[in-house]
């Protein structure tokens, strides 16, 4: 079953822009390793995000803050080796860009050079504009990230819906416009009211890719492990689970253990 346009051999930032113009929704999912990236790419996902959610999902940290640039480059280079068609976007991790535009550029250059990825993503609005401008001068495409920005969890204090109040909503719309003016090719908009997300998507020409931001945006992103039901501890309202892979994996592992214990595995065909 092909649910994407197979004529597009390689997704670029320009193609994402065209998708917005045509009203074709952009699909984006996270990937952190070669095997998963190959499956995501084969399925035809438009964008693979090497998210710093790897800090939670792959490394078991409570927040995204501990993951390092070296870790992100390791994950990103593994993903890039599995991809032919999708655009690969990599999160700049906490502490590698905020407050220092030169560091923002050198972190981005390391990601592009050492992983072979196609773009970087950064959390924040006006406060990181200098860094975004500097990265763009090096020809590196930048995706923004507004709304709930998990790298600032200790400032927010909680992961609740952002920008419910008018003042914060207006600031968010302004930030989206500033990121567009600076030259970002797209923006992730996380956990904001659906109506506001629709206004943001209409206020800028670049694609707005939502997570917990309702349907009136230009695309959707989810964490692959969450939508596959591998991790069943995270159940926000916005998450649609497409599988209960944890149950299937548990069953398979338990069957294997049983077969080993009962001396059923390996049998006469499974040996040399």
Contacts with ligand KIV by CB under 6 A lie at 30, 49, 51-53, 91, 188, 190, 211, 221, 223
Q: Which is nearer to ligand KIV, 132 or 211 (CB)?
A: 211
Catalytic residue among 18, 190, 247, 262: 190
Query: Minimum distance from CB of 137 to ligand KIV (Å)?
Result: 24
Q: Which is nearer to ligand KIV, 46 or 265 (CB)?
A: 46
Residues in the chain: 272
Query: Minimum distance from CB of 162 to ligand KIV (Å)?
Result: 13
Q: Which is nearer to ligand KIV, 90 or 182 (CB)?
A: 90
Return the residue nearest ligand KIV (CB atom). 51
Query: Minimum distance from CB of 166 to ligand KIV (Å)?
Result: 25
Q: Which is nearer to ligand KIV, 91 or 259 (CB)?
A: 91
Whether 190 is catalytic is yes
Q: Distance between CA 223 and CA 52 in Å, rounded?
A: 11
List residues bridging with 210 in a β-sheet: 189, 220
Query: Minimum distance from CB of 242 to ligand KIV (Å)?
Result: 16
Residues marked as catalytic: 190
């Amino acid at each position: 079953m092909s649910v994407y346009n197979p004529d597009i051999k390689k997704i670029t930032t320009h193609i994402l822009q065209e998708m917005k113009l045509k009203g074709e929704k952009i699909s984006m999912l996270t990937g952190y390793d070669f095997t998963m990236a190959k499956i995501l790419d084969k399925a035809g996902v438009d964008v693979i995000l090497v998210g710093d959610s790897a800090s939670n999902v792959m490394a078991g940290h409570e927040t995204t803050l501990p993951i390092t640039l070296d870790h992100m480059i390791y994950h990103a280079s593994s993903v890039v080796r599995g991809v032919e068609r999708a655009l690969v976007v990599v999160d700049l991790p906490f502490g590698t860009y905020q407050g220092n535009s030169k560091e923002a550029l050198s972190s981005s250059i390391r990601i592009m050079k050492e992983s072979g990825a196609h773009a970087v993503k950064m959390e924040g609005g006006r406060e990181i504009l200098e860094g975004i401008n500097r990265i763009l001068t090096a020809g590196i495409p930048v995706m923004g990230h507004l709304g709930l920005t998990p790298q600032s969890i200790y400032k927010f204090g909680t992961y609740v819906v952002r920008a419910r109040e008018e003042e914060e909503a207006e600031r968010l719309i302004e930030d989206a416009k500033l990121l567009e003016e600076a030259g970002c090719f797209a923006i992730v908009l996380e956990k904001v009211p659906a109506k506001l997300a629709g206004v943001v998507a209409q206020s800028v020409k670049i694609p707005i890719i939502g997570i917990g931001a309702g349907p009136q945006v230009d695309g959707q992103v989810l964490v692959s492990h969450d939508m596959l039901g591998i991790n069943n501890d995270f159940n926000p309202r916005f998450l649609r689970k497409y599988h209960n892979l944890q149950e299937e994996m548990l069953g398979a592992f338990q069957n294997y253990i049983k077969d080993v214990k009962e001396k059923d595995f390996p049998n006469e065909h499974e040996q040399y």
